[in-house]
Structure 1
Amino acid sequence: MIDKRLLAAVSGVGLLVTGLAAPAAQAREPRDIYAPIFAQYKSITDARKKLRRKEKKGQPMSGDEYFAMAHACQYEEPASASKILTALSRSGCKDKAVDYFIEAGMRGTPEGFLGAAQKIGTGQATYMYAQMAYQLADTDTALRNDAAAEMAKLRPTAGDIIRVNAQAQSTVQQLLAANRYQTATPGATEGQLASVAPQLKWLDFKNPKRCTWSDAAQKVLQNSYAFDDRRNLPTIPAKVRVPGVKNWVTSRIIRPGGNSSNEIDIYTDFKGNWNGLTVLGLRYSFLEESDGYQATGIRFAEPVKTVAARLAASGFVVNADGSYREQVDKVDTFKYRDERGRQQTSRNIDGVITSVARKNGETLFLCDEVFYASYGA
């Protein structure tokens, strides 16, 4: 059965102005869409009320405004001491969020279709909206990955996929004809969905802002290497179980400074999707004869800009260009003389250190909470 909400939205396509140029697709996080809209109002609650008033009056609204309204309808201000103010701030449109997401998609904001799919959660409608988001994502690989993941998850229970795909394709063609979108890609095929890498929910951080890794991720990292004291180079690869990966994974060890170096890089290779990004594995670095240094990271296929934007939207403290960043809680400085007798100043911090950098065909995101100021580097 065709989703009634889609039929209602499609019926309005021809009523809108089609002579305007469709906006060019671009990679955006949900926050990149709704934050500029909310910034025009006193609060999210104020935005919700005024956007809904605008809709009821039939005033022109963009896809981004509908997307923001969908998010606003799911938001409620924290309870206050005043019962009256608390009641006034409550959302009365939570059941309209899906409709607003769909309308956002129909008006040139493809993230709206994915939002509708994720909000509905099950059944053919979810699959159909995810397929539409996939086709209209254009160059936004993160959006396409998320949409493919939704379809792959639902494929066994989505029923008549041929019919659902046909409806999605028909709607996409109507949107192109109405100049809501500039271009669309072919829909995801059975073969493509069968090869979709698993969703790596076990990588979800306990606290992104503090680089607090999940217990499952820490277990993988800790089991990715072993020591053999009989060897001149005691750190050796190990076989490790990675959640969602069928076979055991054998780590790789690289010594960036050669065999005479203390520095160790442990690579654990596997593939999956996390936060709309393609994961290639983990990397854990440390000094073989010291506890004073470590660097823990996830390796991605996407470029730095895409990875950094996605991470920032997920609550991580990262710079837009991926450059080295410190979130400083405490600083300790001390002076010393180098091998030539010159006075130098050393600086250690407690806090969080992050970076996103491209090297050897992959993007490495490093995220560590450090206590160098308190315990030494």
Structure 2
Amino acid sequence: MATPAPAPLEIDAKYDDYDFPTTAPVAQNGHPGYLTSQQQAQVHQLRLLLESEGFTKRLDTLTLLRFLRARKFDVELAKQMFVECEKWRQEIKLDDTVPTWEYPEKEDMFKYYPQYYHKTDKDGRPVYIEQLGGIDLTAMYKITTAERMLTNLAVEYERLADPRLPACSRKAGTLLETCCTVMDLKGVGLTKAPQVYSYVRQVSGMSQNYYPERLGRLYIINAPWGFSTVWGVVKGWLDPVTVQKIHVLGSGYQKELLAQVPAENLPKQFGGSCECAGGCPFSDMGPWREAEWARPAKWEETETAAAEAAPAVVAPAEVKEAPAAEPAVPVVAVTAEEPKVDAIAAAPAPAAA
């Protein structure tokens, strides 16, 4: 199907409240700013179906479009995917968790599994880095629990969607909905591979089922011996659009990676020149930390509104008023998960594009 001529995104005043660009950077069929009249109608149809079943949240146009693209604009399949996602969100109470979530074990966890956002690629998208060579689930579960690890993963998906991607979109001047991922397999040998890939299988379902259309580019670097052979078979099973986003590289990855990520934005250990104070894994640097582009996340605004609406508690007259406490500083976990790759055979493979 030919890509339609550029057209402004049809906004629904009830649900759409965007303070960032809403046109995709590249003319692609089914993406914001390049929709056919039929696709626009399918957005409205999906929203009406969801409203009829009592859904009121996350019915904005960009969100619905991501679910529709993930299901090739089959409205019924997109509806099913959305409903299952909302059921999962309610089960883990995600909307209540996001504003208050803290992950104090992060630094200890990074000894085994560094995973973090760090600046942007040449297209302005957040760069997400994870290093799988040190994964030791036995040791990690002594620090935290599997449930907390998955909750942290979900929270960071939410913080990717807002405030990270909106800030990047403002800076780039175009809509950015995906990330550039660097997955480092250095240290993943034959003995460690089963445990590493088992963990990837455990978390990959979350990205596929609940956070579609978040994969922009994926660089698998330091791929171990034998991985390329497996990948050569696996990619034949995948959507060609997805395959184009994935680059499997060995130890000589620097030239290709630096063609996508500017040296000043890439940590020195991967061939770049960046050395953030305190270490790149803990800096969380990016447009979402720059005053010109950063805005409060919607979930932060909701939390503030709820606090302001709460009735004041008046102390009994005989109790002296205590000195005002210092305002709490919100803790934002640095670790952030980008859509994972599926585990196919014994190796990770990409999430749905």
Please say whether Structure 1 and Structure 2 have the same fold, judged by a TM-score greater than 0.5: no
Q: Between Structure 1 and Structure 2, which shows a larger proportion of strand residues?
A: 1
Superposition TM-score, scaled by structure 1 size = 0.26
Q: Which has the higher contact order (CA 8 A, sep 6+)?
A: 2
